[in-house]
Structure 1
Amino acid sequence: MENSRLDASTLEHFRTVLEAQRAELLEQTAHHETSLAEVRVARDGESDDEHDPEGPTIASEWSRLTGLQEAGARELTVIDKALARVENGSFGICTSCGNPIARARLDARPAAELCIDCARRAEERH
């Protein structure tokens, strides 16, 4: 924790926030998995959804749900990395320049690993 300028109570606050985000994400993932199972059953049935003007097709629903699953998996990785930084004492320190990440940025994006300046530079490169 010698590199971190965040005190123990602040680190604990962010640990709690990140763990809550992680739990919510796992709950959403479970819901999406249940929905995917339902779509799988419909896909394997004799349903002719391509001509149903009332709702999305099985293919589009499958695509939407798998996209949500993939995004959730990426976000879970980001949160797990942030929790690891809390554990090893590097949370709140920019992984690029080594400077502290502003508290306001951490409040807005608790899993942030870059300070705002490095995040802007990274965005400009993409």
Structure 2
Amino acid sequence: MSDAGLPANDLAELRALVEADRERTAERLAFLTRDLTGILDSAALVATDDEHDPEGSSTAFERAHVQALLDQAREHLRQLELALDRMAAGTYGRCESCGRPIPVERLRIRPATTTCVTCAARSR
């Protein structure tokens, strides 16, 4: 059992979930980075003025949208890395707010979570 009271088989299952999510998120980051690079490269080839070009506003929106998705993916990857760190430290599965164990069912759904349902509801 970990310090959070998770049986070894649950911890192994959750580690596999986090690692699979990390791999998917890294792939998504790579895809979004290529997408943003393509948007920036195509914009550089055309001398446009976003303010006066009818396509400029949609290009700016697309660029901002992809950048926001990239930011979200980077943050999610960071949270997954922190979850793996907590696993290594033996603190994974313990609520950072109240200190009680986070139910395994919640961890299966949100493996990078740091709070129990009660504390998560309070923070909204």
Q: TM-score, normalised by structure 2?
A: 0.88
Q: Write the letter of the residue equivalent to 2:106.
A: R
- For 1:46 and 1:113, the matched residues in 2 are separated by 46
Runs (4+) off by over 2 Å: 47-52
**Which stretch of structure 1 is more off in the superposition, 68-77 or 43-52?**
43-52
> Which residue of structure 2 aligns with residue 114 of structure 1?
115
1:42-97 deviations in Å (ceiling 9; x for gaps): 11112668435xxx822111101100111111111111111111111111111111
How far the C-alpha of 1:116 sits from its partner, in A, is: 0.8
Conservation of the 8 A alpha-carbon contact between 1:15 and 1:83: yes
* Equivalent residue in structure 1 for 2:54, among 51, 56, 59: 51
Q: Write the letter of the residue equivalent to 2:21.
A: Q
Matched position secondary structure for 1:57? helix
Q: Write the letter of the residue equivalent to 1:51.
A: P
Q: TM-score, normalised by structure 1?
A: 0.87
Q: Write the letter of the residue equivalent to 1:101.
A: I
Say how many residue pairs are matched: 120
Unaligned runs of 5+ in 2: none
State how 1:85-96 maps to structure 2 within 5 Å.
85-96=86-97
- For 1:27 and 1:7, the matched residues in 2 are separated by 30
Alignment of 1:64 with 2:65, yes or no, is yes
How far the C-alpha of 1:2 sits from its partner, in A, is: 5.2
Unaligned runs of 5+ in 1: none
Matched position secondary structure for 1:84? helix
Identity %: 30
How far the C-alpha of 1:41 sits from its partner, in A, is: 1.1
Q: CA RMSD in A?
A: 1.7
